Amino acid sequence: MDHVGFIGLGKMGRPMAANLCRKGVPVLAFDIAPEALRELEAQGATRAASVAEVAAASDIIFTMLPDSSVVDRVVGGADGVLVHAKRGSVVVDMSTIDPRVTDALARAAAAKGIGFADAPVGRLASHAERGESLFMVGAAPDVFARIEPLLEMMGTTIHHCGDVGTGMRTKLVNNFLAIVSCQLNAEAIALSQRFGLSLEKTLDVIHGTTATNGQLKLAWATKVLKGDTEPGFTIDLAHKDLSLIVDAANADRVPVPIAAVAREAYGAARAQGHGTKDFSAMVDVLCEMAKIEKPRFS
């Protein structure tokens, strides 16, 4: 059995690593937060003292980190994973980052004889807890075959999107639609509130036409429209992902004016102190600005 390392035990990383432990995989883990390490130790993982220790001792190294700069430093930095990892090992980055960083790290890994995969995660932390994550994987076929059994222990849906970098780019396309749909819904429902329309009847009409969407029909029905704005996916993260989308699109000369405008809307919500709320709370932000009653199921 491959020795597995896991770096990054935040809201998503810790439950995913815990699922590996529960299924009998020996996991050597590291995080800068001692409490996260203690929690995973209690579920059977072994604590490492550093990124270097994880990299040197592991055959497959998973990383789940907050942003591009952290991934670049932890994986590709002077004392990072690629410096200490063994030839023939595999690095699997599950973070959501700039795909150009993914491409550069993959090239650096290949130069050292190390495999590389990007496997950003779909769905929420609650799915990660239950082992129901969705993965969009970019990897060479042989690397994918090696990591797929471990991904299956952490998730229920694994898409092999193509070679390295395709997983990250697929995630950005998916999140583009999900996040912009959320903003579009917020504006439309705020307008319906101003018009004094019945929320239930308005949704009945929308869900019977092509205007409906998964965010409004599935996510909102269990979140903001029930008064629940506790974060599944935060406004802060939505803004971060829209920034990645706009930057990646600009780099490839694709105009995305709707994404750019939506990013400014999420930025305004963050500036007003709403960044840690669920991104469905964008409708509440708009209603507060317009002094409209917030939409709630009666």
| pLDDT tens profile 74-91 | 999 999 999 999 999 999
Q: With H, G, I as helix, E, B as strand and everything else as coil, classify residue 134.
A: strand
Tokens found for residue 176: 């583009």
Identity of the residue numbered 119: A
- Of 11, 23, 112, 171, the catalytic one is 171
Residue type, 100: R
Looking at CATH, the fold of the domain delimited by 4-164 is given as: Rossmann fold (3.40.50)
Q: Do 94 and 119 form a contact (C-beta atoms < 8 A)?
A: yes
Residue-wise pLDDT tens digits, 116-161: 999 999 988 899 999 999 999 999 999 999 999 999 999 999 999 9
Summarised one tens digit per residue, pLDDT across range 208-250 is: 999 999 999 999 999 999 999 999 999 999 999 999 999 999 9
Give residue 181's pLDDT.
Answer: 97
Long-range contacts of 199-207 (CB under 8 A, 24+ apart): 199/225, 199/295, 199/296, 199/297, 199/298, 200/297, 200/298
* Model confidence band, residue 1 (pLDDT cutoffs 50, 70, 90): confident
Share of the chain above pLDDT 70, in %: 100
- The model's pLDDT over 4-40, given as tens digits with 9 standing for 90+, comes to 999 999 999 999 999 999 999 999 999 999 999 999 9
The confidence band for 114, taking pLDDT boundaries of 50, 70 and 90, is: very high
Please answer whether residues 27 and 4 qualify as being in contact, where contact means their C-beta atoms are separated by less than 8 angstroms. Answer: yes
Reported as a single tens digit per residue, the pLDDT across 148-195 is: 999 999 999 999 999 999 999 999 999 999 999 999 999 999 999 999
Fold of 169-290: N-(1-d-carboxylethyl)-l-norvaline Dehydrogenase; domain 2 (1.10.1040)
Q: How far apart are CA 145 and CA 207, in angstroms?
A: 40
DSSP annotation of 294: P
Query: Identity (one letter) of the amino acid at 222?
Result: T
**Model confidence band, residue 298 (pLDDT cutoffs 50, 70, 90):** confident
Mean pLDDT over residues 197-218, rounded?
A: 96
- Dihedral over Cα of 123, 148, 161, 106: its sign: positive
Residue 240 is among the residues annotated as catalytic for this protein: no
Structural domain boundaries in the chain? 4-164, 169-290
For residue 274, pLDDT beyond 90: yes
